[in-house]
Chain A
Amino acid sequence: MSRNTSQRKMIMRVLAGAGFLAGIASVPAAAQETVQVMDKGDVAWMMIATILVLFMIVPGLALFYGGLVRTKNMLSVLMQCTMIAAMVMVIWVVYGYSMAFGGGTGAYWGGLGKVFLAGVTPDSMAATFTDGVVIPEYLFIAFQMTFAAITPALIVGAFAERIKFSAVMLFSALWVTVVYFPVAHMVWDASGLIFNIGALDFAGGTVVHINAGIAALIGALMIGPRIGYGRDMMAPHSMTLTLVGAGILWVGWFGFNAGSNLEANGGATLAMINTFTATAGAILAWAGLEAVLRGKASMLGAASGMISGLVAVTPAAGSIGPVGAIVLGAIASGVCYYFVAVVKARFDYDDSLDVFGIHGIGGIVGAIGTGIFTSPALGGMGGEDFSIASQVVIQAKAVGITVIWCAIGSAVLFKLVDLVLGLRVDVEAERLGLDVSSHGESAYHS
């Protein structure tokens, strides 16, 4: 069991990692021939990684977002995150897993072979990056389920404080079906379109963050700004909760990134240290820029930098080095800062919690940056023949496909939901706040 992986093997692993589910369909067949080993250390690690991603959703993301809205809309945000996650978990079991990883060999989806998790038992195993090393398929299903559950919840930040609760639920159900499951298949399945162009996406930069960011932008544009946007005080009702949420997101993100390695080995620890250093670099960069440009470093800046860095390192975590990660994080953070504080102000849309500005922009910087910092010349794990130029082109293609698929899909779905249910609550309800008007509750009493 002593390790002797060469750098060359490492980059191959990473490439394999991008489509780590490749092996599942063939497992039953392959099982006849090779010995499959399930290591309890891997199982222990992947269980905790799965739990960590749930922790990111409730209470992590819920608090990060919730703290940023006004008191009167707090519960609506918590509710949306919770309900979307629960709904997508049920959908995942019913047909989502099958659409993404059902064993079908189409370029766009995995077929319906595993609806209702047909045929999966506690003995079913799923392949990892390493030949012959497997983990229980239930565990793989659960781990991937948490990714599917968090992604639509990320989007809600774009139209917080004004969307109808029924609309957000219907949109999310449609969106995971039309956008998320196909893109997950395209990126991570061996038969998937984007996988086959050779894109690197270790832990879901395209599938999760760019996807969510683009849908958020479309949503913000189509739903329109909040009443009083740009005039009324709309400062975060609790920066404390936002920091708590951001901290939980950081903690949980190790499940995301180091968990995407599927095994508890040196590769996972590389993803882990990168998830530390990229984030640290990004925090310092955002706060540093503010200190220089505004004279004051803000806590929301530090938290925003934190998330930018985490987003950017997501696709890169398994293939870059820890010093490269500091630089990648810092760059992504700077770009997001510039976008959120300068560019956004020039346009007239209200992406209330900057989902596009941080997840979309940060995700794109991360995807491109992965093509750069994986280079061994920059301390990355790429092989000797790694070419930054050609990998960047591939990464850009992956981004392009995701953006187009997601933008069109999301626009159609928002329109559809608008026709069926209407997207916005009425003016009185928005003034009163969604907590009371949509849920009949208030967040705080004395």
Chain B
Amino acid sequence: MELELTADQKLFQSSARSLLEKDHSLDRLRRLEPGESAWDRDSWQRGAELGWAATIVPEELGGGSVSGEGVRDLTLLAEELGSVVAPGPFLPVNVVLAGLVAAHGTGPDHTATIEALVAGEQVAAWAVYEPGGHWAPEAAHVAASPTADGWRLDGTKDRVEAGLQADLLLVTATTPEGLAQFLVPTSAEGVTTSPQWALDLSRPLAEVRLDGVVVGPDAVVGTPATTAEIVEKQLQIALLVQCAELCGGLEKMFALTMQWGFDRYSFGRPLASYQALKHRYADMRTWLEACHSTTQAAAEAVQAGSPDAPQLVSVAKSFVAERAQWILQDCVQLHGGIGVTWEHDLHLYLRRATSDRALYGTPEDHRRRLADLSSL
């Protein structure tokens, strides 16, 4: 979390907090039946009305941010959402928006889609993973073949967050000229979305089959020459959202575990009086501060479009995702048996953290990327 917020930012934050308190409860998440969705379109619409899909979109495209620095506001929101493991398409919609905004002016026009997403009238999802695959957006097996008047897409995607609920998919595909991205309506003929088991109860995933799906030339996002850069922007937003929501969740669970340490007695003394435990709290507090530091530094770099933004998002993701696990598992340990029961909140955060660790590059992936970026 940023050390100081403006009055506008605080208002933005508290409006988000109120909506989340009204629309969302961890208990509901815990009691979801198989097949039941963790979120609905109405609730997302209410978030969009508060600007949840607007921060990184320029005003001329219907967006706008309270601080004038959209990425800062985005991470502020992500922290709020993460602190309650909020369901909803916040990450995929903003990632797709990052791509559409970055592509704006370089290929077919997607202004109408941007406006519909900002307003919450449409929901979009990034279809970038493929079954059995790891993080390698540049190596899509989904094929896009040029037709007389557009493209034909064939192949399968998976781990598509919000894919079941989305109106639009942003699909990475390999064309004869290299990687490209296509906006594909889920209602298009040949598109089959089906639910996929997900570790994170709050984030439904989908498998998507593309069977001779035909789209027009205006479905392309950007141009072959700019695709790599656009995908990089999308990745940066995905990683920032992940890191910020992890920070928000960690802050909450650390506070809960602190309180437990003071309230829980063993042998007539509070847990917080045992040096072996105190030292673990100290480590956790240190890692938490480090997580905030690196997330904030990455957000500043992305906001500024700084040349080291690719490095700094990888630094943040590789670090925060790893330490989130260390901290949360230690919170479980300090809670004792109750920490591994279904009724406790901790596993909801641990599910989110484990899922975040896995998606958009694991810490290992990002460490190798850091070596690449350092020209080792």
A binds B: no
